[in-house]
Every structure is written in structure tokens, then in C-alpha cells.
């Protein structure tokens, strides 16, 4: 339908897009058509009856589908084809903004955020120096200060930077923590410092082991602390694990606590962990990549009590707060460390004789050189919603999780993985097909139950009506994990999800 008007572009070469003599009208027309395609996609994403995906295997996409080819041409293609390429790219992708997409912690399509992304790309600049990003760097400062005050730090405390995702934010926390204890490591390397130990819960995202390997400490330096049945780190076990590491000759320096684990959405007892860190003088990092959003809600922020005692915090607005990917911040309590730890004073960027306040040349705080502008969309969303708007958005996501939890309690064909009420918007459960409902608990039933979720997921991908992830965890065989971060999702979508799983799995 949208493509009906594209005919006017037949044979118009891309070169005419340039706004030189006469180019304006082509440029306007092209962008109007593009906007039609994007708006059409947005409306479709919000139509409950439309499919979330039109699944194709990699070989099918590589072979090319009706007018859509991945191959790169030697000759320029006309604008009409370029628009078709845009349309088809969206067509064969996944509508992560659909209210029935539950597959990832990042979902939804915030329209103000989208406008912010578009403006960001239009400005097309780089975050390394004030001379090329004056407005965006000041916005970053405003956002970081706001987030630090929400975490509970004082005016005199607080530093940080937006980085490419939570895994990188976590990497920064270890890098800076190590530098804080052993500044020589920057110039002399690992041979100048003792063998270190870092601590994290057994439900940790794998990124901590990756970071330890990358930073030259080795993934074996990561000590895994047991969790209780709800996925919370057990403080007593943390303390014994610290003692054991010391006995082995390792030097503990860093504890990673989690506010909102990836699978169960569990919150570690931050205050108790902070007490232990104080006693042993360890750096406390709180990974609130997923749980940080709860700080925006008056009703739910108490779950992060103690976070103000952290030395560093990871917080991903691209998850629960719905900012478009990517948007993640590492917040550090102690000012100046980040700069000291990373700066190398490259003369071609950070000339020491500039005529403005060079504290805004934050590029030397990072491990990158250039850095994408991730802040504008978040700043704009904050303007449009206010802090309260984020709060109600978060409340809505958690209400959906409670609703799902209540529905699951009522049904015999589903079983909750955790009996307790969800703390975050994660709800984990099994579907039990009739063929398994009579089997006694035991290895045979578990072995069969393990195959149920993947089979349902495979059918779901083919049908494209909804999307949800599954995984095993510890001794629990494959189960579904539903997560809510799209405020467009309603109770009817939750009902639909359960009916769809039961429909696809009934005959297994
Ligand atoms: C998602 C997540 C991460 C990783 O964040 P990315 O932005 O995907 O790199 C780290 N920790 C936790 C707890 C997460 O949920
Ligand atoms: C800390 O734990 C969380 C989840 O439990 C994990 O996502 C993160 O990668 C861990 N590592 C670091 C370095 O923060």
C-alpha cells in the first residue's frame, strides 16, 4: 500500500538526493516516503493481530526473496529500490516493539526515543570532545548527575560515562576498581600487582568472567558465591568465600552484587553485602543493568535499598526504561578515578591549550576513541515523560508481571519455577502438556519436560504470533522466562501468551 506512490522514483538516481540545485524536492520526497514506511511499520507493530516475525532461515535470506537481495551492486540502484530495501529489511526482521514480544529485556518502541535517535544520527557527531559535541556533552553531564542523585549519592560524589551496553559498563567497574587499589597496573601491568580475586553470584551474567579474562586477571580469578532458591546472593557465603580466597593467597578487591538478575530478576541483599565490603575494604559494584529502572518507581525503589553504598553502578536505560538501544551508564562514586585510570592525553584530540573548560573533553575517560551519542534520546524522553512518567511506566511493567504470576497460579497446565511473588518483571514457568501431567516427578519426567519449551519455541517462531525465551538454570530444566519492559503490553497480551503456549504445546 505504502509502495503505491514509490513509482515516482523510478530511475531517479541517488546522486539527486544531494540538496544541490533542484535536489531539495527529491530529498523531501524520499524522506516522506521513508517516513511512510516507518510509520506503516510502527502501526503494524502495534496491531495485536499482526505477526511479530516472518521467520526465514539464513540460507533463505542469503538466496534473496522477491526483490530483496543482500548482494552489493557495482552500479548504483535507483531510489525506488533503496526504499524497497528499507521496507523489506523491516519486513524480514523482528518487531521488538510488538506488545506480544517478551523475548528480551529490551523491548517496546518509544516514539520520543525514536525521534531522539533520528536527531542523533542527523547531527552525526562524536562524543570525544566539547568542540564537536558541546550540547550532547552537557546533556550527558545532566543525565549522569540526575542518575547519581537517584542512586542516592551526594552532590560532591559521582562520576561516570555512557557506554556501549551493560557488559562494557561492568568491564569499566572492574577496570576502575583495580586501578583504585593498584594504580601501577596502568603502566606496569599485572606483574606489578598481586593475584586478585573478585566475587559474584552464581546467577551472574557471563560478562564478569569475560571481563576478568580480558583484563588479564584470568577468568579463574572470579569466585562464584552461592545463591538462595530465589537467586539472591547469600551474604554468609560471600564472607566465607572471601576467607577462602585469602587462604589461597589471593587478594580480594571487588564484589559484584546484582539488582535484578537476568533470568529470575532477583535482587541481592545490598545492605548486607555492603557491610561485608566495608569490613574487608572491597569495592562494591552493583549491576543494576536490569533493575536500575525500579529506582524510578516510588513503589518499587525500596528493592534496591543499599545501592547508595556502592562504589559503582551499572544502569541500562535501554532495558526497563525503554530507551532505544543502546543506552547504558556506568556510574562511579569517587570523582576523577575514571579519567586517571584511562587518560593518555592524545595530543591530536585533547590539546592542552584549548580556549574552553577542558573538563568537558570527556573522551579520555573512556577505553574507546570515538563514542556514539547515546544520551540525547534519553534526555528527550525524560523531558517528555518527567521522572514520574518513567515511574508509571515501570509500575505498569511490574503489574503485568504480577498479573501473569496470578494467572499461572490458577492453572494446572502451567507451573511456576519460583513460588514467591516476582520482585522484578521476570516470571519463570513451565508448560506441562497433558502427556506429562500424570508422570511422577523424577529424572524421566525432567528429561521430557526439558524438551517441551524448545519445541514450543520452534513452532512459535514459525507462526510468528508471539515470542518468549527459555533456558535451563541450575537444576531446573528448560523453562520459559517472560519479561515485561514494553508499556504497550496489556493483560490481554498476557492471556494470549498463555493460550498460545498451551495451543502449541498441547499435543507434545
Ligand atoms: C543485560 C544485562 C547485562 C548486559 O547488558 P548489555 O547492555 O546487554 O551489555 C549485564 N548484567 C545484567 C544483570 C543484565 O541484565
Ligand atoms: C555481575 O552480576 C551480574 C548478574 O548477576 C552480571 O550480569 C554481571 O555481568 C556481573 N559482572 C560484573 C562485572 O558486574
Q: What is the pLDDT of residues 327-355, one digit of tens each?
A: 999 999 999 999 999 988 777 777 778 88
Overall average pLDDT of the 109-133 stretch = 96
Q: Map residue 470 onto helix, strand or coil.
A: strand
User: Given its phi and psi angles, is residue 269 left (phi above 0), alpha (psi -120 to 50 degrees) or beta?
Assistant: beta
**Per-residue confidence (pLDDT) for residue 54, from 0 to 100:** 93
Query: Binning pLDDT at 50, 70 and 90, where does residue 21 land?
Result: low
Grid cell in block for residue 424:
522484578
**Per-residue confidence (pLDDT) for residue 207, from 0 to 100:** 77
Give the ligand at the shortest distance from the Cα of 283. Answer: 2
- Given a cut of 80, whether residue 57 has pLDDT beyond it is yes
- Given a cut of 60, whether residue 146 has pLDDT beyond it is yes
Kindly give the distance from the C-alpha atom of residue 150 to the centroid of ligand 1, in angstroms, as a whole number. Answer: 20
Fold of 7-95: 3.90.1150
Look at ligand 2, atom 12, and give the residue with the nearest C-alpha.
208
DSSP alpha helices (H): ranges in 199-333? 207-214, 235-247, 270-280
Residue 206 burial (CB < 10 Å; 0-12/13-18/19+)?
exposed
Q: Closest Cα partner for 208 from 101, 94, 289, 88?
A: 289
Among the four given CATH numbers 3.30.70.260, 3.90.1150.170, 3.40.50.300, 3.40.50.880, the one describing domain 382-505: 3.90.1150.170
**Per-residue confidence (pLDDT) for residue 338, from 0 to 100:** 95
d(CA 286, CA 169): 11
**Per-residue confidence (pLDDT) for residue 19, from 0 to 100:** 59
Overall average pLDDT of the 72-94 stretch = 94
Domain with CATH 3.90.1150.170 in the chain: 7-95, 382-505
Look at ligand 1, atom 12, and give the residue with the nearest C-alpha.
289
DSSP readout, 227-253?
Answer: B-TTS-B-HHHHHHHHHHHHHTT-EEE
d(CA 257, CA 247): 22
Percent pLDDT > 90 in the chain is: 85
Q: Are 96 and 109 in contact (CB under 8 A)?
A: yes
Overall average pLDDT of the 274-288 stretch = 98
- Given a cut of 80, whether residue 91 has pLDDT beyond it is yes
Residue 10 burial (CB < 10 Å; 0-12/13-18/19+)?
exposed
d(CA 262, CA 105): 8
Overall average pLDDT of the 394-420 stretch = 97
**Per-residue confidence (pLDDT) for residue 120, from 0 to 100:** 98
Domain with CATH 3.40.640.10 in the chain: 126-373
Cis bond before residue 326 (omega within 30° of 0): yes
Look at ligand 2, atom 3, and give the residue with the nearest C-alpha.
204
Kindly give the distance from the C-alpha atom of residue 204 to the centroid of ligand 2, in angstroms, as a whole number. Answer: 5
**Per-residue confidence (pLDDT) for residue 353, from 0 to 100:** 82
**Per-residue confidence (pLDDT) for residue 202, from 0 to 100:** 86
Kindly give the distance from the C-alpha atom of residue 394 to the centroid of ligand 2, in angstroms, as a whole number. Answer: 22
In b/e form, how buried is each residue of 322-333, taking b as 16+ CB within 10 angstroms? Answer: bbbbbbbbbbbb
Q: Closest Cα partner for 276 from 331, 234, 232?
A: 234
In this predicted model, what pLDDT tens digit does every residue of 183-237 receive, in sequence order? 999 999 999 999 999 999 987 667 788 899 999 999 999 999 999 999 999 999 9
Query: Binning pLDDT at 50, 70 and 90, where does residue 18 land?
Result: low
**Per-residue confidence (pLDDT) for residue 22, from 0 to 100:** 64
Residue 152 burial (CB < 10 Å; 0-12/13-18/19+)?
middle
**Per-residue confidence (pLDDT) for residue 272, from 0 to 100:** 98
**Per-residue confidence (pLDDT) for residue 20, from 0 to 100:** 62
Give the ligand at the shortest distance from the Cα of 200. Answer: 2
Q: Are 260 and 424 in contact (CB under 8 A)?
A: yes
Query: Binning pLDDT at 50, 70 and 90, where does residue 67 land?
Result: confident
Kindly give the distance from the C-alpha atom of residue 411 to the centroid of ligand 1, in angstroms, as a whole number. Answer: 32
Overall average pLDDT of the 49-77 stretch = 92
Determine the residue of 287, 331, 424 to mutate for testing ligand 2's pocket, defined as the one with the most ligand atoms within 8 A of the Cβ atom. Answer: 287
**Per-residue confidence (pLDDT) for residue 357, from 0 to 100:** 83
Among the four given CATH numbers 2.30.29.30, 3.55.40.20, 3.40.640.10, 3.40.50.970, the one describing domain 126-373: 3.40.640.10
**Per-residue confidence (pLDDT) for residue 181, from 0 to 100:** 96
Percent pLDDT > 70 in the chain is: 96
**Directed axis angle between helix 375-410 and helix 111-123, to 10°?**
150
Overall average pLDDT of the 8-12 stretch = 65
Among positive and negative, which fits the CA dihedral 294, 298, 301, 307? positive
**Per-residue confidence (pLDDT) for residue 362, from 0 to 100:** 84
Helices then strands, counting H and E runs in the chain, come out as 15, 12
How many CA within 13 A on the CB side of residue 210? 11
**Per-residue confidence (pLDDT) for residue 2, from 0 to 100:** 42
Overall average pLDDT of the 363-376 stretch = 93
d(CA 259, CA 292): 7
**Per-chain mean pLDDT for the chain:** 93
Query: Binning pLDDT at 50, 70 and 90, where does residue 8 land?
Result: low
Kindly give the distance from the C-alpha atom of residue 289 to the centroid of ligand 1, in angstroms, as a whole number. Answer: 5
**Per-residue confidence (pLDDT) for residue 66, from 0 to 100:** 86
**Per-residue confidence (pLDDT) for residue 38, from 0 to 100:** 97
Give the ligand at the shortest distance from the Cα of 232. Answer: 2
Please name the residue that has the C-alpha cell 579463574.
220
Mean pLDDT lowest for which of 7-11, 114-118, 243-247? 7-11
**97, 99, 113, 377, 486 from 110: Cα distances, Å:** 8, 12, 5, 10, 9
- Given a cut of 50, whether residue 4 has pLDDT beyond it is no
d(CA 201, CA 474): 13
**Per-residue confidence (pLDDT) for residue 203, from 0 to 100:** 76
- Given a cut of 80, whether residue 12 has pLDDT beyond it is no
Q: How many CB atoms lie within 10 A of CB 360?
A: 16
Amino acid at each position: 500500500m505504502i509502495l503505491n506512490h514509490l513509482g515516482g522514483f523510478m530511475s531517479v538516481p541517488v546522486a539527486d538526493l544531494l540538496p544541490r540545485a533542484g535536489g531539495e524536492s527529491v530529498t523531501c520526497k524520499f524522506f516522506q516516503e521513508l517516513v511512510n514506511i516507518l510509520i506503516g511499520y510502527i502501526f503494524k507493530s502495534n496491531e495485536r493481530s499482526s505477526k511479530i516475525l516472518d521467520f526465514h532461515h539464513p540460507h533463505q535470506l542469503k538466496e534473496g526473496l522477491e526483490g530483496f537481495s543482500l548482494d552489493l551492486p557495482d552500479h548504483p540502484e535507483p531510489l525506488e529500490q533503496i526504499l524497497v530495501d528499507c521496507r523489506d529489511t523491516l519486513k524480514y526482521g523482528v518487531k521488538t516493539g510488538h506488545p506480544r514480544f517478551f523475548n528480551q529485556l529490551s523491548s517496546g518502541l518509544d516514539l520520543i526515543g525514536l525521534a531522539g535517535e533520528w536527531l542523533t544520527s542527523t547531527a552525526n557527531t562524536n562524543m570525544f570532545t566539547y568542540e564537536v559535541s558541546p550540547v550532547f556533552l552537557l546533556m550527558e553531564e545532566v543525565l549522569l548527575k540526575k542518575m547519581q542523585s537517584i542512586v542516592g549519592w551526594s552532590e560532591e560524589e559521582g562520576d561516570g560515562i555512557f557506554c556501549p551496553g551493560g557488559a562494557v559498563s561492568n568491564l569499566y567497574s572492574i577496570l576502575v576498581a583495580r586501578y583504585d587499589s593498584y594504580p601501577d597496573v596502568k603502566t606496569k601491568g599485572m606483574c606489578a600487582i598481586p593475584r586478585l580475586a573478585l566475587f559474584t553470584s552464581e546467577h551472574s551474567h557471563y560478562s564478569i568472567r569475560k571481563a576478568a579474562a580480558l583484563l588479564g586477571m584470568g577468568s579463574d580469578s572470579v569466585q562464584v558465591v552461592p545463591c538462595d532458591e530465589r537467586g539472591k546472593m547469600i551474604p554468609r557465603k560471600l564472607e566465607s568465600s572471601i576467607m577462602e580466597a585469602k587462604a589461597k593467597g589471593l587478594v580480594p578487591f571487588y564484589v559484584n552484587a546484582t539488582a535484578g538478575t537476568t533470568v529470575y530478576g532477583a535482587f541481592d541483599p545490598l545492605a548486607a553485602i555492603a557491610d561485608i565490603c566495608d569490613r574487608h575494604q572491597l569495592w562494591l559494584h552493583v549491576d543494576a543493568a536490569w533493575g536500575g529502572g525500579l529506582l524510578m518507581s516510588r513503589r518499587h525503589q525500596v528493592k534496591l535499598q543499599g545501592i547508595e553504598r556502592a562504589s559503582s553502578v551499572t544502569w541500562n536505560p535501554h532495558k526497563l526504561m525503554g530507551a532505544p538501544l543502546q543506552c547504558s551508564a556506568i556510574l562511579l562514586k569517587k570523582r576523577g578515578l575514571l579519567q586517571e585510570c584511562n587518560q593518555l592525553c592524545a595530543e591530536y584530540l585533547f590539546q592542552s591549550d584549548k580556549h574552553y573548560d577542558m573538563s568537558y573533553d570527556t573522551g579520555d575517560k573512556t577505553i574507546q576513541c570515538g563514542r556514539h551519542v547515546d544520551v540525547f534520546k534519553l534526555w528527550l524522553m525524560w523531558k517528555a515523560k518527567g521522572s514520574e512518567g518513567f515511574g508509571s511506566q515501570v509500575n505498569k511493567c511490574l503489574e503485568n508481571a504480577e498479573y501473569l504470576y496470578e494467572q499461572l497460579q490458577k492453572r494446572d497446565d502451567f507451573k511456576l519455577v519460583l513460588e514467591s511473588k516476582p520482585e522484578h518483571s521476570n516470571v519463570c514457568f513451565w508448560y506441562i502438556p497433558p502427556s506429562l501431567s500424570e508422570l511422577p516427578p523424577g529424572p524421566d519426567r525432567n528429561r521430557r519436560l526439558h524438551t517441551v519449551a524448545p519445541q514450543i519455541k520452534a513452532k512459535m517462531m514459525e507462526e510468528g504470533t508471539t515470542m518468549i525465551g527459555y533456558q535451563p538454570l541450575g537444576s531446573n530444566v528448560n523453562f520459559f522466562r517472560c519479561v515485561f519492559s514494553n508499556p504497550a503490553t496489556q493483560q490481554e497480551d498476557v492471556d494470549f501468551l498463555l493460550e498460545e503456549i498451551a495451543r502449541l504445546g498441547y499435543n507434545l
